[in-house]
Amino acid sequence: MKPKVLILRTAGTNCDAETDVAFQLAGAETDLVHIQNLISTKTNLSDYQILAIPGGFSYGDDIAAGILLAVEMKHKLKKALHQFVDDKKLIIGICNGFQVLVRTGLLPGTELNPQNDNEETAQSTTLAMNTSAKFECRWVELVTQQSPCIFTKGIKQHLYLPVAHAEGRFTAPPNVLTELETNNQIVLRYGNGTKLSTEKTAYPHNPNGSDADIAGICDITGRIFGLMPHPERFLTKWNHPRWTREELPDEGDGLAIFKNAVNYAITNLK
């Protein structure tokens, strides 16, 4: 039986179709669901094994990128989200979805508290305006880090994926960055792996100026994953910008991320 993936939609979401294709190619059954259907319980999150929050500009990124969707999820879906996490199910947030996850506190991994609806979930990191002060749209090299992340288990060390964002600069206080390093929660970094560890990857290879070149992180369990690059935009070699000039494998670098999630769900979840 195929695992079921809920791809969350709201006003301004624009990468849902690509994410849908990615999970279908990976072997999952998918539903594109508007958040109002979850809030009204017309659709139940508990019926799914994977939650995907795709890229885009949810609610026009008013106030800050992803913040309005994050507030809506924290206050209207708190119990459902807590149960989903407690059931050891998977969550991925891509680009705007990553922004949502850090603003809900689901990343780096703050516990939701369903017993107290008035309690705010702490936010310890953020995704701020790019240091270039402009929208960055380019393909970047990434280095996979040692981490517990389910989505990147066993994938190759060097990835090539596109980014497209204005608020993608991952930043956090020094103590939080140290904790992320200690817990191996940093999943992806910008760069090709040739620089010294004390150096920071220069623009445009680090397209947004993220602290410690961070492009993606997971929670301590590895089941919640957020990243700024778009794996759903490189599923086959024909998505690659140089596919007519290079010999490339049929499968794009991004597809393995979705396959890992589906395989985990098949093996571990009902």
Query: Dihedrals φ, ψ of 105, to 5°?
Result: 90, 0
pLDDT range class, residue 196, cuts 50, 70, 90: low
Residue 192: what pLDDT?
A: 80
Q: At what angle do helices 67-76 and 96-104 cross, to 10 degrees?
A: 50
Answer yes or no: is pLDDT of 142 > 70.
Answer: yes
Query: Dihedrals φ, ψ of 128, to 5°?
Result: -100, 180
HSE value, Cβ hemisphere, 13 Å, CA-based, for 79: 8
pLDDT digits (tens, 9 = 90+) for 70-114: 999 999 999 999 999 999 999 999 999 999 999 999 999 854 444
pLDDT digits (tens, 9 = 90+) for 50-72: 999 999 999 999 888 999 999 99
Whole-number Å distance between alpha carbons of 268 and 222: 14
Which residue, among 89, 112, 110, has the nearest Cα to 6 in the 3D structure? 89
pLDDT range class, residue 140, cuts 50, 70, 90: very high
pLDDT digits (tens, 9 = 90+) for 197-236: 567 889 999 999 999 999 999 999 999 999 999 999 999 9
Task: Report the chain's mean pLDDT, rounded to a whole number.
Answer: 93
* Share above pLDDT 90 across residues of the chain, in percent, rounded to a whole number: 88
What are the residue numbers of the active site? 95, 230, 232
Q: How far apart, in Å, are the Cα atoms of 133 and each of 62, 130, 139, 165, 168?
A: 17, 5, 18, 11, 11
Whole-number Å distance between alpha carbons of 143 and 163: 15
Answer yes or no: is pLDDT of 118 > 70.
Answer: no
Residue 121: what pLDDT?
A: 61
pLDDT range class, residue 153, cuts 50, 70, 90: very high
Q: How far apart, in Å, are the Cα atoms of 253 and each of 141, 219, 231, 256?
A: 11, 22, 7, 7
